[in-house]
Each structure stands twice: as C-alpha cells, then as structure tokens.
Amino acid sequence: MQEDPTALDDPAEIRHAEPEHARTVLVDWMLGNACNQSCSYCPKALHDGSIRWQGLADILQFMDLLRRHYRDGLGRRVWLQFTGGEPSQHPQIAAILTGARARGFRASLISNGARTLRFWDRIAPLLDGTILTWHDEFADPAAFLDVAALLAEAMPLHVNITVHPDRFDAILARAAELSAAVPGASITLKPLRIGFGATPYAYTEDQRRRMQAASRGAGARGDSAPRGVMCAIAEDGRYALQKAAGFLLTGRNRWRGYLCEAGIESLRIHADGRILRATCGVGGSLGRLGGPVDLPLSPVLCDRAECGCVADILITKRHMGALDRAMGLA
C-alpha cells in the first residue's frame, strides 16, 4: 500500500517508523540553565544561569535507577540526551558522558556548537550522536561548519536551524550553505514558538512550505539514533510518514484523549531536578533528582490541547476509541 497523506488527518495511531525507536526510552536531561548565548527568542529561564549545574553524584545515582527500571526491568534501551542551557558548558560533562557509557547507555548532546574543535574532538568518542542548533544571532559560520564537519565524520549529526521570520531569507540562504557543506547531516529548519510556548511566530504558508522543502532527513538509521520519522496509521490501514517538524508546520499535533507512551518511551529532567514523563508535563511529577522517584510502568492519557515540543511528538500515541473498537469494546 502506498502512503496516503490523509492518514495524518485523524490517525488511530502515531508510531515510530523504525521499530527500534519504540523500545528506546529517550531521557531529555536539562543539566542546568547556563548558556553562552542569549537569543532574543529564548526565555531567560533557559539561558540566564539562575539554576546551578546538577551535581555529578546525583546524576550518576539517577543513571543507576534508570538502568534498573528501564534496561533491567522493562528491557528497554536507554538514551540520554543532554540539554541546557548549553550542556557542553557543564564543568563535568566528560565525567557525565563517561558514566553513561559505563552503564551501557547511549548519549547525545543538543548544543549550539560554540566550544572549540579541540573540545569536540576530545568528547566525540563518548557520544553516540549530536544535535547542533544554529542560532543566527550568535553563531559564527566558519566555526560552526568546522564543528559540524568534525562531528558528522564521527557520529550521526542532526542540525536544527532556528528560523526567525524577520530574518527568514537570510537564514534560508545560510541553511543552503550548511546543507551543501555537511552532506552527511540531517537538517531541520525549525519554526519558532513565542516564548517557546504553544503559539508559533507568524509564518506565511509559503514560508512554511519552504522550511519543509529545505529540511533533509538522514534515511533509515536503525539503532544509530534514538528517534526518527513517525508513521500515522488510520483505522482502515492508510498510513503516512511524517517528521516532527511536519506535524508542527501543518498543525497536525493535537492528540488530546490519545493514550501516550510518555514515561515509557521518554523522560524529562528539568534543570531544577524535577522529573516528568515528557516536556509537556502530562501525568504530573514523578519525583526529583537526588530524592524519591516513582518511574512509570504504563502509558498516560493525553490531556494537552496540542503537542508543541519535537521530543513529545516523537512518542507513540494511540486513539482510545480506535483501541476500544479494535478490542471489540465499542
């Protein structure tokens, strides 16, 4: 059966196109909120350094809990994705990555790439992937390209290019340069949300189409990445593949009432140590780093108006009505 984009309109299920991703718990781990950049569109709470870096002992202790619960208990692969702030600025980032490797975890960073080539060359053997984010207000084009080229040779590399509508054409031109210079990287032109909330900036339909057209996937990656493309499946079997940014750009990111695997396929650790199932906070707090934590064993019913975060979109979701009908309960 060929893909049918109408499957995106009212899917019975959103699942991972790559089965390995469905058995991976992706831990989106914010190590602190200090950053060497302060972009105009980024809330201060994500870059002002008001929360000190998490301590190594608490981090390693929680890694041990993750290993017991997800790997040993649920048979899942654990992938730690460190964010900030700017996670590469954590004074013990090498020790954190070494701890992850020692426990059999995969690890990656979401970074602005501003640290030196020598730094990236030193920690590259401890990484299984990197997401570099191009912030047009601060990024140095030549230095960013050098880092991207080094990382693309060493591991799977994804580049997010944040697109502010006021500088749309200049950023798209820069995206074309990056795409040509680092052909091995996947690239997403990322629409921005005001204050990183639910409301997107005012992009025209033409701008949205151009962002989608300029984005580039990496093809099937299997277990070399924690996430990839999602597959929307209708009750009658129609299906369509879609990247996370595509759901956002087309407004097909509303799944209230669906059963979501947040907490089974994902965790979110805030800079202040709060632990949640996902970035959206569905299901409430699970505990705090350094204190008691109750990790989940079952999915949660979505009660959010929309799914505004890429990490949360890339989680399996099933329509409750479709599930009931499939089981003969409706």
Which pLDDT score, from 0 to 100, does residue 190 have? 86
Which pLDDT score, from 0 to 100, does residue 61 have? 98
Strands 13-16 and 230-233: antiparallel
The count of residues in the chain is 330
Q: What are the pLDDT digits (tens) for 275-290?
A: 999 999 999 999 999 9
C-alpha–C-alpha distance, residues 166 and 169, integer Å: 9
Question: What is the model's pTM?
Answer: 0.89
Residues of the chain below pLDDT 50: 219-220, 222
- For the chain, the C-alpha Rg in angstroms (whole number) is 19
Q: What tokens does 25 get? A: 């718990």
Backbone angles phi, psi at 76, to 5 degrees: -105, 155
Which pLDDT score, from 0 to 100, does residue 218 have? 66
Amino acid residing at 168? F
Which pLDDT score, from 0 to 100, does residue 290 have? 94
Which CATH superfamily is 20-228 part of?
Aldolase class I (3.20.20.70)
Which pLDDT score, from 0 to 100, does residue 220 have? 47
Which pLDDT score, from 0 to 100, does residue 2 have? 87
User: How far is C-alpha 224 from the chain's CA centre?
Assistant: 15
